């Protein structure tokens, strides 16, 4: 899988909501009304990721969820990451 250049990543980010390129990955922070909603969101993301054979870094504290995407096999950001980010944006 082709690793994107910094320029390609910045171009792709224009099509996403609130995602940022930080330390060789794309990241987004989410905030929910409570822990139950945050946990439900994490479960949805997990199911989507598993179907795509992709395994994001998910961080949760109470009503906050941070997601970090990169393709470990490519040691960087690839189309796989943008595909999952777009799918995540559709559920939030």
* Structural contact between residues 23 and 58, judged by C-beta atoms closer than 8 angstroms: no
pLDDT for residue 78 = 96
The Cα–Cα gap between 54 and 48 comes to 9
Q: What is the pLDDT of residues 1-39, one digit of tens each?
A: 899 999 999 999 999 989 999 999 999 999 999 999 999
CATH superfamily of 6-91: Transcriptional coactivator/pterin dehydratase (3.30.1360.20)
DSSP assignment of 8-72 equals: HHHHHHTTSSS-EEETTEEEEEEE-SSHHHHHHHHHHHHHHHHHTT---EEEEETTEEEEEE-BG
Average pLDDT over residues 33-60: 96
What local confidence, expressed as pLDDT, does residue 35 receive? Answer: 98
Domain ranges (residues) in the chain = 6-91
At 55-92, the pLDDT tens digits run 999 999 999 999 999 998 899 999 999 999 999 999 97
Alpha-carbon span 1 to 74, nearest angstrom:
6
pLDDT of residue 92: 73
């Amino acid at each position: 899988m082709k690793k994107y250049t910094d320029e390609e990543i910045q171009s792709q980010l224009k099509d996403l909501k609130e995602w940022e390129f930080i330390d060789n990955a794309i990241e987004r922070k989410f905030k929910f009304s409570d822990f139950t909603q945050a946990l439900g969101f994490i479960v949805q993301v997990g199911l989507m990721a598993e179907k795509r054979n992709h395994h994001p870094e998910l961080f949760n504290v109470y009503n906050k969820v941070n997601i970090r995407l990169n393709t470990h096999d490519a040691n960087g950001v690839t189309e796989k990451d943008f595909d999952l980010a777009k799918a995540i944006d559709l559920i939030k």
